[in-house]
Amino acid sequence: MIRGMVQAPPRPQEWRERAGLRLVRALAPQLRVVPPAAAPPVLLPYENLSVERDRGPGTLAATWYPAYVSPRGAVLLLHPWIPEGRAYFHRLGRIEALRAAGYHALTIDLPGFGGSGRPSGLYDRAVEDALARLDRLGKGLDLFIWGVGVGGYWSHQVLARTDQVAGAMFEDVPSHLYEWSSRVEPWGKPARILVQRMLPDVHRYLDLRRHATAFDLGAVTYISGARNLGVRPEETRTLAECAGGSYSIVRGAGHLGSIEVANRAVIRTALETFERAAEHSTTAVQFEPGDDSQVSAVG
């Protein structure tokens, strides 16, 4: 098998995609509505933008953070399924580290979050729109994606059909939303069986293992917490192997907790991933809670 030559699952018909979207939203945790939050002064200078959508009402709310030093690339940061949307990246140092290393950063609110328009079709359409805007803003620089949770999840369908992204970093990404819901939601398993039988093309399209095998990236890394009940360590390893990348399991970390338990190590791993040009590996890295200065390879 030649990586990048594998064909990803085709997009479902539009009406079936809409049905899949309704099920995705029904299975996802229900979130309170939170108004957009301005970036803190510590992140100045930055510019709030509106990203045009190829489909769907309104625009995508976004913030552009130029690199602090001579730019070497541009990174699209995609938030998890939390009410704050792109404001999730206002803390924990990802933006500051990227800018200091010479990367522009673009954050967006996925449809239905913050200042963005409502959802219309599966969320990978919004990722594609944001990536197109990043390409224009980057003006020929290498492009990268750093996706957390569902932000990373909906990146996979896009990365399977484009070669314009050099590398990617993923945190806490499940291999399939319906398999995730079977573990964390009581009614998730019956819903998954229903979709498999009635919308098999949608079920295949939502299987990230099928998309990851079609990646043509210079480098990609997956990270998740050992105590993440929704994303199991073996799931993270399998996605990394399908994508031809590396993976890390953070001891003591739950869902979205890796960046808190091993902040410096996670950020360093992302920067190293973006720096690699054509290297591929399937090395597992184990982090110790409370001491992210020591990283040891296992497996």
Domain with 80 in it: 14-28+42-218
Is the separation of the CB atoms in 297 and 260 below 8 Å?
A: no
Report the candidate in 270, 6, 1 with the shortest Cα–Cα distance to residue 160.
6
* 262 inside domain: no
In angstroms, rounded to a whole number, what is the distance separating the alpha carbons of residues 290 and 206? Answer: 35
* 82 inside domain: yes
* 158 inside domain: yes
- The number of folded domains in the chain is 1
* 108 inside domain: yes
- The pTM of the full predicted model, rounded to 2 decimals, is 0.90
* 151 inside domain: yes
* 290 inside domain: no
* 64 inside domain: yes
Q: Can you list the positions of beta strands (E) in 11-128?
A: 47-51, 60-65, 73-78, 103-108
Residue 207 DSSP symbol: B
* 168 inside domain: yes
Q: Can you give the pLDDT of all 299 residues of the chain as single tens digits?
A: 445 567 888 999 988 888 877 877 777 777 887 888 999 999 999 999 999 999 899 999 999 999 999 999 999 999 999 999 999 999 999 999 999 999 999 999 999 999 999 998 899 999 999 999 999 999 999 999 999 999 999 999 999 999 999 999 999 999 998 788 777 776 666 766 777 788 889 889 999 999 999 999 999 999 999 999 999 999 999 999 999 999 999 999 999 999 999 999 999 999 999 999 434 534 445 455 544 433 333 32
Question: Backbone phi, then psi, for 265, in 5-degree steps?
Answer: -70, -40
Domain of 148, CATH number, reads 3.40.50.1820
